[in-house]
Structure 1
Amino acid sequence: MPYRTKVAVVYLLGFFVDLINMFIANVAYPAISHGLGATVSELAWVSNAYILGLTIVIPLSAWLAQRVGGHRVFGLSLVIFLLATLGAGFSQSIGQLIAWRLLQGMGGGLLIPVGQTLAYQLYRSHERAGLSAAIMLVGLLAPALSPALGGLIVDTLTWRWVFFANLPLAALALLLAAIWLKKQPDTQPRTRLDVIGLLSSCSALLLILLGLTSLARNDGTATGLVMLACGLLVLAGYVRHSLRHSHPLLDLRLMQDPLLRNAMMIYQAIPGVFIGVSLVAMLYLQNQLGMGAAQVGSLMIPWSLASFMAITLTGKQFNRLGPRPLLIAGCIMQGLGILALAQVGSAQQYPLLLAAFAMMGFGGSLCSSTAQSCAFLQVNDAQLAQASALWNINRQLSFCLGVALLSLLLNKLQENMPATLAFHWCFYLAAASALIPVLLCLRITNRAIVRQLNAQKE
C-alpha cells in the first residue's frame, strides 16, 4: 500500500472515531439523565463541552505540529482521546462526565486538523478532490450510523458503553499511526509560541461558542448577545494582533486566498444553515404535525442516499467542471429543498418530505464536498497546517451558528405570529439565504482553476 494511502487511512479512521463520538452520545441522554440524575441543561453540556474542547484547541494544532512533528501530535491526540473516553465511561457524576467530554474534545481538536494536514500534503492539487470526497463520505457515514448504533448499545447494555464502544477503533487508529506514520522532514524554522494569540483566540472562540449556545435557548437571548459581543471584540483584538505578528498562532493572511475564503463562507451558508433547518424541521414535524420520532428519523435515509450521490459526483467531476457550476447547483438545490419543506402542512405529505430531504441532502453535500475540494487548491504545503486549522474552526462555528440563528429566528417569529406560520416563514428565510453563496460563486475564476488542474495532470 502506498505511504500516502496509509496516511489517508489513518486520518480517515481517526476522523470517523471523532465524528462517531460527537453524535453517538445524543441518543443516550435519557439513560444518562436517569443514571446520573442530570437536568436537561446539564445534559446539553455533554455535547457542548465536547464541541468546546474541540474548537478551542484547534488554534494550537499547527504550532504543536511544527514543534514536535505532526505524527507525534496525531498519536498524542489519540492517547488523550482514549484516556478521556475511559474517564467518560466510568464517570460517577454529570460534572465528571462533562469534564471528560471537554478533554475528549481537546483530543479530537488536535486529531482532525493535524491528520488532515498530514494527508493533504501527500496529494497534489488535482488529486485532492478524490481525497476530499473520501473525507466527506466518512463525514456522512458517521452521523448516519451513530443514532442507530447508539440506540442499540443503550438498549442492549448501558449508556456507559456508548463511550466504551469507541475504544477499539481509537486503539486501532493509534496502532496504525504508530506503525505507518513517519517523521516529517523539518523544513521550517521553529517559532516561539504566540502566547497572546493563544489566549485571545481561545477566549474569543470560547465566548462566541457560549454566546451562540445561549442564543439557541429561549431564555438566553440577552446573555447570548452579551457573550457574543464580547467574543467579537476579543476576536477583533486577535485579528489586529495576528496581522501585526511575524509568526501568529493562526495566520489570518491566508484568508486573502479567494478560494479558501469563499469556501469557508459557503460552509457557513449551506451546511451550517442545514444543521439549523434540520433542528427546526424536527420540531415542526413532531410538535406541529404529530409525526413519530421513527418516521421523522427515516427522513435521513433519502438525505444520506442523495448526499452519497452528490459526494461521488464531486469526486468524479470536480477536475472537469471546476467548483463554480457544482457550487451554484448545490446552493439552488438546497434552497429548493427547504422551500419544499415549507409546503408540507400535514403528515400525509410524507412523499414531499422525502423529496425535500433528498434535495437538501444532494444540494448541501454537493456544496460542502466541492468547498472542501477547492479550499486548499492554492495553499502551498508549508501553509497547509495553518489553513487546515482555520478551516476546521470555521466548520465547527458554522454548525453552532446555524443552530443559534435558526432557533433565534423561530423564537422571534413565534412571538409575532401563529406557530405553524412561524415555522413556514423560518423555512422561507432559510431558503432565501441559499442565494448568498450563489453570489460568492460568481466571483470564482472557474476556467483558470480547470486549466490549473488539467495542467497538473499532465
Structure 2
Amino acid sequence: MSSQPVAAPDKLDAAVLKVAGVVVLGAIMSILDVTVVSVALPTFQTKFNASYAEVAWTMTGYTLALATVIPLTGWAADRFGTKRLYMAALLLFTLGSGLCATADSIGQLIGYRVLQGLGGGMLMPLGMTIMTRAAGPDRIGRLMAVLGIPMLLGPIGGPILGGWLIDVASWQWIFLINLPIGAIGLVYAAWALPKDAPEPSESFDFLGMLMLSPGLAAFLYGVSTLPEAGTMSDPEVWVPMLLGGLLVVGFVFYSFKPQHPLLDLRLLRNRNLSVASITMAVFMVAFMGAGLLFPSYFLQVRGETTLDAGLLMAPQGIGAMVTMPIAGMLADKIPVGRTVPFALILLAVGFFGFTQVGTDTSYVLLCGSLFVMGLGMGGTMMPIMTSALKTLTNHEVARGSTLLNILQQIAGSVGSALMSVILTSKLNDSPAIPGVVDPVTKEPVTEAGLAIVVQQKPELAQQFPVEPGLLQRGLEFVADSFATTFWVGFVLVLVTFIPAFFLPRRREESHLLDDEQGDRAAPVMLH
C-alpha cells in the first residue's frame, strides 16, 4: 500500500477526502434508513392492516441483520479486499431498498429489510477500515470527524425526510430514494477507492460463526421483544436472551483458541482499545436509548407533527457539527483522556434539561438542552473511536472496527429496549378510566393512553365522554413518565465518566504502519 496519505499529516488532502466521500455516502444510506423507517410505522399499519408489534419488525429485522453480518466483515475484508466487499455491500443494500418498495405484505417487507440489513451492516465497519488506512496514523481523528457526519444526519434528517416523503409522495419513496444514491455510490466507489490486495491466507472460522452470529441475533431478538412483552419473565424474552447469551459466552471462551477467530477478542488486551470500547458501550446505552425517546416526547406530550418533531431535534445536530471537527483535530494532537471528560460534562448538562420535562416546558429550554447535548456528543463519539483504532496495526484495523461496531450495535439495542421498558412500565401505572375500553383490544383505556391518542388526533376526543380535567391529568402523567425515563438516561451518562477517566492522558505512539514496515509480528496487544 502506498504511504502517500501520510505525506501531509497536517491536513486532509484531496485524495483522502475523495475516499472519505465514498464512505460518508454509504454510511448516510445505512444510518438514515434506520431512522427514516421509524416515522413510517403508522403508515405500514394502515397499508398492510398489521399491528404495531408486526410493523415494528421492519426495524427489528434490519437491526438483527446488521448484528449478524458485522462479525463476518473483518474476515471478509481480509479475504476479498475492502474495495470489492464495500461495493458488494452497497449493491446488496441498494437492491434490498428497491425490493422493499415492491412489498405487498408486511412479511415481504420484513424479509426485504433483512436483506437491506445484510448489506448495511458491512458498510460502517468497512468504511471505518477504509478511512483509517487512507488517513494514516496522524490524521485519524480528523477523518473520524468526517465519518461522524452521517451519524448525526441520520437521527436528525431521518424523521424529517421520512415525514416529508410520506406527505408529498408515498411510503415507497423512503426506499426508492436509495436507488439513485446507491447507483452514484457504486460508480463513485469504483473510481475513488484504491485497489487493495486481498489476503486469503486466513481460514474462515466456521465454528465461531455458528456461535457468534446466531448468538447475537437471538440475544438481540429477546432484547427487542422486551418492550412489547413488558416483563423479563415472558418466554419470548428470556429464552432467546438466554440461548443467545450462552452462545456468545461460549464464543468468548472459544475465540482465544483459533489463530484467526471470527472476532479477535485478543485485541482487547490493548488497553486503549478496551477502555475506549467500555466507554463507548456505556455512552451508547445512555444516549441511543434515551435519544430515541426525545422525538416521542414531542409527538405524544406536545402533539407535534412528525415533521415538526424532526425539526425540533435539529439543534442537537447543529451542536455536534460545531464541536465534531474541532474534536477531530484535537484527537490527533491531544490525548482523548484530556478532552472527552469536558465533552461529557456538556452532554450531562444538556441531558439534565430533559429530566425536567412537563406538559408545557419551554421549547427554548428544550432546544437549548439539545444544542448543548449535541456539543457534548460531537466531542465524545469520534475521539473515543479514534483512541480505540489509533494503536492498532494496519492489519488489525478491520477487526478492531468490527469489534467496535458490534459493541455499538449491542449497546444501542440494549439502551433502546431498557428505556422503552422503563417508559412503558411507568405509563402502565396510569389509572384506568371506568367504563372506557379500547374498541379493538377490548382492554381498559388508561388516562395516559387516552391522553396520548387525543394529543395526536384531537378529533377523537368527541368519541370519549370523560370528566373535565381527565385528559390534562393523563397528559401530566405521560410527561412525568418521560421525565423519569430521562433521569435513568442522565444517571447512565454520569456512569460514562468512570471508564472515561481511564482513557489515555499521554500521547500514544501509533502502530498503524507497523505491519507495512515488515513488522506484522509486533503484537499490539502488548502495547
Q: TM-score, normalised by structure 2?
A: 0.80
Shift of 1:415: 6.4
Structure 2 unaligned spans of 5+ = 1-12, 431-476, 515-527
1:37-72: CA deviation from partner (whole Å, max 9, x where unpaired): 232112101111111111201111122222222211
| Distance of 1:85 and 1:289 partners within structure 2 | 33
Structure 1 unaligned spans of 5+ = none
Question: Counterpart of 1:264?
Answer: 277
Shift of 1:384: 0.9
Question: Counterpart of 1:443?
Answer: 502
Shift of 1:321: 3.1
Q: Which has the larger radius of gyration?
A: 2
CA contact (8 A) 2:359 2:479 kept: no
1:220-270: CA deviation from partner (whole Å, max 9, x where unpaired): 532323322222211110011101111101101111222222222222222
1:190 maps to which of 201, 208, 218? 201
- 2:402 is equivalent to residue 389 of structure 1: yes
What does residue range 301-316 of structure 1 map to in structure 2 within 5 Å?
Answer: 301-316=314-329
Shift of 1:293: 5.1
2:79 maps to which of 39, 46, 67? 67
- 2:464 is equivalent to residue 426 of structure 1: no
CA contact (8 A) 2:279 2:496 kept: yes
- 2:271 is equivalent to residue 212 of structure 1: no
One-letter amino acid of the counterpart of residue 317, structure 1: L
Question: Counterpart of 2:437?
Answer: none
- 2:47 is equivalent to residue 35 of structure 1: yes
Question: Counterpart of 2:370?
Answer: 357
Question: Counterpart of 2:474?
Answer: none
| Distance of 1:301 and 1:150 partners within structure 2 | 15
Shift of 1:124: 1.8
1:57-88: CA deviation from partner (whole Å, max 9, x where unpaired): 11111222222222111121122122212211
What does residue range 157-196 of structure 1 map to in structure 2 within 5 Å?
Answer: 157-186=169-198, 188=199, 190-196=201-207
Shift of 1:33: 2.7
Considering fraction of residues, name the structure with more helix. Answer: 1
CA contact (8 A) 1:334 1:431 kept: no
The 10-residue stretch of structure 1 (90-99 or 215-224) with the greater mean CA deviation from structure 2: 215-224
One-letter amino acid of the counterpart of residue 214, structure 2: S
Question: Counterpart of 2:460?
Answer: none
The 10-residue stretch of structure 1 (244-253 or 335-344) with the greater mean CA deviation from structure 2: 335-344
One-letter amino acid of the counterpart of residue 177, structure 2: A
1:311-354: CA deviation from partner (whole Å, max 9, x where unpaired): 12202322333211321112222222222211233414222212
| Distance of 1:182 and 1:409 partners within structure 2 | 47
Shift of 1:158: 1.6
CA contact (8 A) 2:160 2:310 kept: no
Evaluate the alpha carbon distance shift between residue 287 and residue 142 of structure 1 in structure 2; reply closer, same or farther with a 3 A threshold.
Answer: closer
Q: How many residues align?
A: 452
- 2:154 is equivalent to residue 154 of structure 1: no
Evaluate the alpha carbon distance shift between residue 6 and residue 38 of structure 1 in structure 2; reply closer, same or farther with a 3 A threshold.
Answer: same
SS at match of 2:255: helix
| Distance of 2:174 and 2:260 partners within structure 1 | 41
SS at match of 1:376: helix
One-letter amino acid of the counterpart of residue 487, structure 2: Y
SS at match of 1:80: helix
CA contact (8 A) 2:165 2:174 kept: yes
SS at match of 2:483: helix
One-letter amino acid of the counterpart of residue 35, structure 2: F
SS at match of 1:445: coil
Identity fraction in percent: 28
Question: Counterpart of 2:247?
Answer: 234
What does residue range 83-162 of structure 1 map to in structure 2 within 5 Å?
Answer: 83-162=95-174
One-letter amino acid of the counterpart of residue 126, structure 1: D
The 10-residue stretch of structure 1 (45-54 or 23-32) with the greater mean CA deviation from structure 2: 23-32
CA contact (8 A) 1:216 1:403 kept: no
One-letter amino acid of the counterpart of residue 125, structure 1: P
CA contact (8 A) 1:89 1:161 kept: yes
| Distance of 2:374 and 2:238 partners within structure 1 | 31
CA contact (8 A) 1:336 1:431 kept: no
SS at match of 2:247: helix
| Distance of 1:173 and 1:206 partners within structure 2 | 29
CA contact (8 A) 1:260 1:376 kept: yes
CA contact (8 A) 2:324 2:378 kept: yes
| Distance of 2:510 and 2:396 partners within structure 1 | 19
CA contact (8 A) 2:101 2:173 kept: yes
| Distance of 1:193 and 1:408 partners within structure 2 | 39
Evaluate the alpha carbon distance shift between residue 431 and residue 159 of structure 1 in structure 2; reply closer, same or farther with a 3 A threshold.
Answer: same
CA contact (8 A) 1:69 1:184 kept: yes
What does residue range 224-303 of structure 1 map to in structure 2 within 5 Å?
Answer: 224-288=237-301, 296-303=309-316
Evaluate the alpha carbon distance shift between residue 180 and residue 329 of structure 1 in structure 2; reply closer, same or farther with a 3 A threshold.
Answer: same
Question: Counterpart of 1:377?
Answer: 390
The 10-residue stretch of structure 1 (289-298 or 332-341) with the greater mean CA deviation from structure 2: 289-298
The 10-residue stretch of structure 1 (399-408 or 287-296) with the greater mean CA deviation from structure 2: 287-296
CA contact (8 A) 1:327 1:438 kept: no
Evaluate the alpha carbon distance shift between residue 265 and residue 216 of structure 1 in structure 2; reply closer, same or farther with a 3 A threshold.
Answer: farther
